[in-house]
Structure 1
Amino acid sequence: MQKRNNYTEIEDFLADESFQVWILSKIDEQGWEEWTLENRQRAKLVEDARLLLLAMKVTDTDLSQNKIHEALEATWNKIEEKENYNLNKKSKVKFLKTYWLSGIAAAILLIFISLYIFKNNSIITNTVVTYNELIEENNEGLVEQTNNSVIPQTITLSDGSSVLLQPKSKLSYSKIFIGNERKVYLSGEAFFEISKNPKKPFFVYANEIVTRVVGTSFRIKAYQDQQNVEVLVRTGKVRVKSNNLVSNSTDHEVTLLPNQALRFIRKDLVFNKITNITKDEALAHSVGNIEQLSFEFNDIPIDQIFETIEQAYLVNIDYPKDKLKDCHLTTSLSDQPLPEKLKIICKSIGGDSTFEMNGNQITIHSEGCY
């Protein structure tokens, strides 16, 4: 914010986004009030800029060319009245002030036109929340994982939860979850399998929504350049509501059960709950292997179980086939994160069976079934 020390013209203040936020929203995160009071001459310039900004404030209604002209003319009149009141009789000074006013009027016209174009050609600004804004709101040190490959990547969190991160997506999370909550931040698409911990709920922040869970599996699709955010539940229960960063957010919360989904319309802040995903063509076509495959195994050969996991998570499992060829397992893995699935399998095999995970490569160490 040191650049504001060099502001000498009203236009400098009008072009400063943090100054606009301070005047129009009364949010003074950059210490404008304290900075203004440090210098009387500076305070006078700030006050003139404040009056001008309030005079040209745009309401939340549609802008027509006539309204732009009327608003500009009203602002011009306010400036002219203020200047005429203190007008020096010398013609040279009058010329300079008229020249200055013309510059201000041109600047105001550009601002009105820009606001008009922006208002009619993009998502409403007061509803958009970016991934970077979400990260900035978090005071803890975060680890960011970006998937620049063409296949999903498996991420294991410190609490044992697993995340299947899709290409062109990124996830930020704490290396170790502290406090009473577990928070992650998503841009793109990911499938979550959350380790159960009722005392420490899990939150996924994605664009304008927050998804709260305790222990369950679900998918979130939240790309920054897309109009909608989708949440689809496979097991358990989740609750979805608007992020507090949204200026028009409400306390409205939607609860989703297995095989239910939600489509959040970002522009209008509307929640559309879908109770039968098979009747929604877009959702039905987007369901992946991990959301369709069954993890209920009844006396199933171990190689088939590993094959199911490979198909679901797009991982490669290396295991001693000869030693495990006669192993059959009966177990339920439907509501478990990937590391927990592997732990249960190794325990069911018996002996000192263990596993290692390195990205999408999994290695099973075992001397056979016991």
Structure 2
Amino acid sequence: MKDYTFYTLVDFIQDDDFRDWVRGESRQEVFWLSFLDRFPDKRDDFLQAERFIRAASVRTDDIGEAEVRKETQQFMNQAMAYRPYRQKKNTPVFQRPRPLWSSLVLAASMLVLVGIGWYFSQDRKPVNYITTSHPATQPLVETYNNTTQPLRVPLDDGSVVWLSPKSRLRYANVFARTTRVVYLSGEATFSVQRRQQPFLVYSGRMITKVLGTRFVVRAFEQDRKMTVQVLSGKVSVYKAESAQIPANKEVKGLVLTPNQAAIFEKSDGNLTKTIVHNPALVTSRQQSPTFKYEETPISQILREIELSYGLPLQFDEQAFSHVKITADLSDASLPQKLDILCKAASSTYEITDGQIIVSRR
């Protein structure tokens, strides 16, 4: 059993299983996901090693040899600056470091040199990205998930992206001060840390803008449509063409809340709002109703559904207040609940602009 109490940045980089986990190939997924809960003091070294391994394992875009060597030199400077002991005031300037630390620094040096050799030995063929009207203003790192499982990609601001298989994400090692921008081709689930700087996801002609929330973007090049599904918080979705107009201070787009989704049709550029396929409860179990009813007005049940799923629900309150039902809807999905209620009240429902409209026949 390894002793992680004294693990350093170099130890993480040299750990075979840790490297496999960063690349999405480890069988110890649960262990590494919960590692920082047990060793919170290792957070800085853990995250820095994760970024270093990921950057060394993926192709980069528009980063030349000078840039790579600059990043390498910065890493080595940090490694040399960190010592596991305090130097005494009267220690000579040219005193040799302790043998153990010398070995670690040497190992890090060898690892970096091997990484540089591998980087420049690769076939640097250009990669076809989703077309975007927003060119990057700084060098970007690219991560491509060639595994069969979602790949965890940590970002500079503490946000985390779960990149789906056969998906590609481009992002800056360090975000700009004004905005946080990433480029997605494929599908990913975003868990964005709340900051004052907006977080923008460019996926072809569709832009998703948030401050901090959880959402899913699907934008494969071969698909006829792109979608955004909101899991929590609030998301703005708009077309890239709208953002190009300088005088357009208020961009026309859609504002999505939990359980709502946006669909962008590539053929005609149409952007519409709807709801997700299987909405989830937005309230906690303690706050949610039991969905077990005995001679309860359907109007009351519909209001409880509206609050529990966070979706706007439009209906004639007076028309449904006289219809009562006895039923157990606790195990039913939202569509099933609505089907049962509409059947009992001789009514129908439809989804329009991200809201549910229930009408009497």
Fold match (TM-score > 0.5)? no
Question: What is the TM-score when the length of structure 1 is the normalising length?
Answer: 0.39
Taking structure 2 as the reference length, the TM-score comes to: 0.39
Structure holding more helix per residue: 1
Query: Considering only CA atoms, is the larger Rg found in Structure 1 or Structure 2?
Result: 1
